């Protein structure tokens, strides 16, 4: 009998890419002979991250449709037609048994064509408010794996599976001690440590809030800060007044997130689905500053779902500059609240998400005689 062939499509951000890679790894663990390929969007980060993870990927000429009037929208119909044509060519040539969509630009054309060709499809939705692509594709998908309750209003209840979001294996089992992690970043484990980040590319408003509070951070030299400024903003903020303080470690990118999580007393971050899932495993008290620049304000909805369960705090983006320091300092002074937030967010972690999704994918493989 031939081994199953699975194609995974989507990407654009780490929030889509890393769960997709986790699913691919779990597929290999469940079915060692499985063949897995990816389809992404040309020029996006999946074209670099997926090959590094050991998987082949092909790129489509596709991008999102801008909600405001812009000249970039003029090319969208041509990109869509090109992507649909190439997706059909890929599927006809490779003949996968199942197509998996994780959200992002490329998953739309690939899964749309897969549905038209009768190839079983599975969607993985990371957020509490599904993206446009997954909402459009959900009607024809055989199964939809979600991370939040109450998703029946967008997807049929009969196809929904509450699996949680897949998380990279090194972030599921963090073995480093606080001392080891602090030493890696040149920090003192005996003093409070705050980890601030806004994703791999950075978050401008969080960086601006950190910069605006230089005087406050300077007044508390005992509070150490690891600050991921982001690749896009390191030139603008990497040498600002806050970044130059002796207790602040400002970096463009942090590749050892497991160590950063392990040593942190308080974490300040965006409320993307991947970040939330990782923090559920880390079990650390978090102040979420949701990005206002995402579709349907889904990061606020993600954070609200945790706040409602006493598992995190929410600081609106427009108030970040005025309150980021005071919220962090207040939380550092309140150990009972930190312990409660840690306990509640850790209770939400779903440790077998990738394995469960992989099993559901394999269950859709047509039987071959």
Give the residue numbers of the binding site for UDP-N-acetyl-alpha-D-glucosamine: 13-15, 127, 168, 200, 254, 299
Tokens 């071959």, residue? Answer: 368
Which whole-number Å values give the CA distances from 290 to 101, 135, 256, 273, in the listed order? Answer: 24, 22, 23, 11
- Spatial contact of 240 and 208, defined as CB atoms under 8 Å apart: no
Buried b (16+ CB within 10 A) or exposed e, 114-151: bbeeebbbbbbbbbbbbbebbeebbeebbbbbbbbeeb
Tokens 């594709």, residue? Answer: 137
Structure tokens at 21: 């890679």
What is the C-alpha separation between 12 and 39, in angstroms, rounded?
11
- Spatial contact of 357 and 277, defined as CB atoms under 8 Å apart: no
Residues in binding site: 13-15, 127, 168, 200, 254, 299
Helices (H), the chain: 14-30, 46-52, 76-94, 107-116, 132-137, 169-172, 178-185, 204-212, 214-219, 234-237, 257-263, 273-282, 298-307, 320-333, 335-346, 353-363
Q: At what angle do helices 14-30 and 273-282 cross, to 10 degrees?
A: 60
């Amino acid at each position: 009998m031939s081994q199953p062939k699975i194609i995974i499509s989507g990407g654009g951000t780490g929030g889509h890419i890393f769960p997709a890679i986790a699913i691919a790894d779990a597929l290999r663990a469940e079915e060692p002979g499985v063949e897995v390929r990816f389809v992404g969007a040309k020029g996006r980060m999946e074209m670099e991250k997926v090959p590094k993870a050991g998987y082949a990927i092909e790129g489509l000429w596709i991008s999102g449709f801008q909600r405001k009037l812009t000249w970039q929208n003029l090319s969208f119909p041509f990109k869509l037609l090109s992507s649909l044509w190439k997706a059909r060519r890929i599927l006809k040539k490779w003949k996968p048994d199942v197509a998996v969509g994780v959200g992002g630009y490329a998953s739309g054309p690939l899964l749309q064509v897969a549905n038209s060709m009768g190839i079983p499809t599975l969607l993985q939705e990371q957020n509490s408010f599904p993206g446009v692509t997954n909402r459009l594709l959900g009607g024809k998908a055989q199964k939809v794996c979600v991370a939040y309750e109450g998703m029946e209003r967008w997807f049929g209840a009969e196809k929904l599976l509450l699996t949680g979001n897949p998380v990279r294996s090194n972030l599921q089992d963090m073995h480093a001690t606080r001392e080891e992690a602090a030493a890696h970043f040149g920090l003192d484990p005996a003093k409070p440590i705050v980890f601030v980040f806004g994703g791999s590319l950075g978050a401008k408003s969080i960086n601006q809030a950190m910069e605006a509070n230089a005087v406050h951070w300077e007044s508390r030299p005992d509070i150490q800060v690891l600050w991921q400024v982001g690749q896009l903003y390191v030139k603008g903020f990497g040498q600002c007044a806050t970044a130059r303080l002796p207790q602040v470690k400002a970096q463009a990118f942090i590749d050892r997130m497991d160590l950063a999580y392990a040593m942190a007393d308080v974490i300040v971050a965006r409320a993307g689905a991947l970040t939330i899932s990782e923090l559920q495993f880390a079990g650390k008290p978090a102040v979420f500053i949701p990005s206002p620049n995402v579709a349907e304000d889904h990061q606020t909805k993600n954070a609200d779902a945790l706040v409602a369960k006493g598992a995190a705090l929410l600081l609106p983006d427009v108030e970040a500059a005025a309150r980021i320091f005071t919220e962090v300092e207040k939380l550092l002074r309140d150990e009972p609240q930190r312990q409660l937030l840690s306990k509640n967010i850790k209770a939400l972690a779903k440790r077998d998400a990738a394995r469960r999704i992989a099993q559901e994918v394999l269950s859709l493989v047509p039987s071959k005689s």
